[in-house]
Amino acid sequence: MNQVSFNPNEITVPNGCFFGFPYSVEEAAIVFLPVPWDVTTSYREATVNGTQAILDASLQLDWYDFDLPQAWQTKCGTIPINSDIQDKNRAMRAIAKEIIGDLETGGNVDDDAIAKQSD
C-alpha cells in the first residue's frame, strides 16, 4: 500500500483496512485482527456482523487532531476478515442456538440433549 495515495482530508476510499489506512500488515506498527464471532451471544444473534460494520464506519472518521496533527500516520494495518471463521461461526452458532433454547425452556447443562449438542 502506498501512503502517498492517502489524504486524511479527503473522502476515504474503502480498501479493506480499518480507517481506510494505506498500510499493509507487514509495515504496520499496530495490526487489527477482525473476528466475526457471535456463537455464545444469548440475547440476539448478528453481532457477527459488527466487525464489518465497524470496518465500514471507520472510514467516516475525521483525522484532524489538534494535539496530534499527523495521527493518521500511525501505521495501522488490518488482517482481512477470515471467511473460515465466519463459516465456523455459522456452524457453531446453530448448535449454540439449540443449547440456548434448551436452557431457556428449563433444560440443565447436564441434560443428555445438551451434552450431545456440545460434542
- pLDDT band of 2, cuts 50, 70, 90: very low
- pLDDT band of 119, cuts 50, 70, 90: low
Q: Averaged over 81-106, what is the pLDDT?
A: 91
- pLDDT, residue 40, reads 82
Dihedral angle, C-alpha 47, 61, 83, 90, nearest 10 °: 10
CA separation for the pair 106, 13 (Å, rounded): 50
- pLDDT, residue 112, reads 77
Of 3-12, 22-31, 65-74, 96-105, the least confident: 3-12
Higher pLDDT, 7 or 54: 54
Of 50-64, 66-80, 99-113, the least confident: 99-113
Q: Cβ–Cβ contacts within 10 Å for residue 34, how many? A: 18
Q: Mean pLDDT for the chain? A: 87
CA separation for the pair 115, 119 (Å, rounded): 7
